[in-house]
Copies of this chain bind each other. A is one copy, B any other.
Amino acid sequence: MRLSDTGRVEAFSDSVFAIVITLLVLDLYDHDVRPGDLASDLLARWPAYAAFVVSFVYVGVIWLNHHALFRRIHRMDGGLLWINLAILFSTVIVPFPTSVLGDAVAEGGGTDDQRVAVVLYALVAAVMSAPWWGVFSYLCHHPELLEPGVPTGYLRAQRIRPLTGLVLYVVCGVGGWFVGPAFGMACIAVVILYHALTSEGLREGPAGRLLGAFRR
């Protein structure tokens, strides 16, 4: 027995998501703690923890979305393989703005550095929406790749979500720059929550129904 083509792509993607979600922890600590200052140093690094939580949820949501999408894909072609690589690319870079953001806030980089870091995070998040728009569009034009019984309207409806995300993340970046880094980061967290709430994998369970109530 061996995994089908789709199965192997799913397994590869899952490995990448798993590694990204785990690598994030490497930024939680900072080895240069002065003796005697551990408690205060740990507390001072709370922005790195906040960035870690946001990015963990973000990658988790990407995984849920990927999971929900691939359940509907029956077979892969070359175009889909490349779009999937683009999705992985955009996921793999998440630890980078996370780390920059955590450091900028925790290590007293000043408001200027923090604004730069929030804009970088928002920019990366916006860029991450592009391949998701791509995959839904591609599948719209290649319904033969889908599992039988997937309604044609499904993909068209899904395409709106990454576009919304892209626009909202740009707004977050602008807000972070002009209003302040804390405001920008809060906006980003809200947009990630929006993606979590609308990720298809949530529709089924009671949590989904609960969250669905907020959505209406």
A150 contacts chain B at the CB level, 8 A cutoff: no
Residue interface bits A15-42, CB-to-B below 8 A is 1, else 0 = 1111111111110110101011111001
A213 contacts chain B at the CB level, 8 A cutoff: no
Docked Cα-Cα span, A2 to B2, in Å, equals 9
Give the residue of B17, B31, B82, B201 whose beta carbon is less than 8 angstroms from that of A81: B201
Residue on B with the closest CB to A17?
B12
A175 contacts chain B at the CB level, 8 A cutoff: no
**Contact present for A35 and B107 (CB under 8 Å):** yes
Stretch at the interface among A113-121, A164-172, A186-194: A113-121
From residue A23, how far is it (CB to closest CB) to chain B in Å? 7
Give the residue of B15, B21, B82, B104 whose beta carbon is less than 8 angstroms from that of A88: B21
**Contact present for A205 and B100 (CB under 8 Å):** no
A160 contacts chain B at the CB level, 8 A cutoff: no
Q: What residues of B have a CB within 8 angstroms of the CB of A25 in the complex?
A: 20, 23, 92-93, 95-96
Q: What residues of B have a CB within 8 angstroms of the CB of A16 in the complex?
A: 18, 21-22
From residue A54, how far is it (CB to closest CB) to chain B in Å? 12
**Contact present for A56 and B92 (CB under 8 Å):** yes
How many chain A residues touch B (Cβ–Cβ < 8 Å)?
A: 75
Q: What residues of B have a CB within 8 angstroms of the CB of A79 in the complex?
A: 205-208
8 Å CB contacts to B: which residues of A71-90? 71, 77-82, 85, 88-89
A148 contacts chain B at the CB level, 8 A cutoff: no
Docked Cα-Cα span, A19 to B38, in Å, equals 27
A129 contacts chain B at the CB level, 8 A cutoff: no
A109 contacts chain B at the CB level, 8 A cutoff: yes
Q: What residues of B have a CB within 8 angstroms of the CB of A6 in the complex?
A: 2
**Contact present for B12 and A18 (CB under 8 Å):** yes
Residue interface bits A126-155, CB-to-B below 8 A is 1, else 0 = 000000000000000010000000000000
List 14 A–B pairs whose Cβ atoms lie within 8 Å, in order of A's numbering: A2-B6, A2-B7, A3-B7, A19-B19, A25-B95, A26-B95, A29-B96, A36-B112, A38-B100, A38-B104, A38-B109, A38-B116, A39-B112, A67-B81
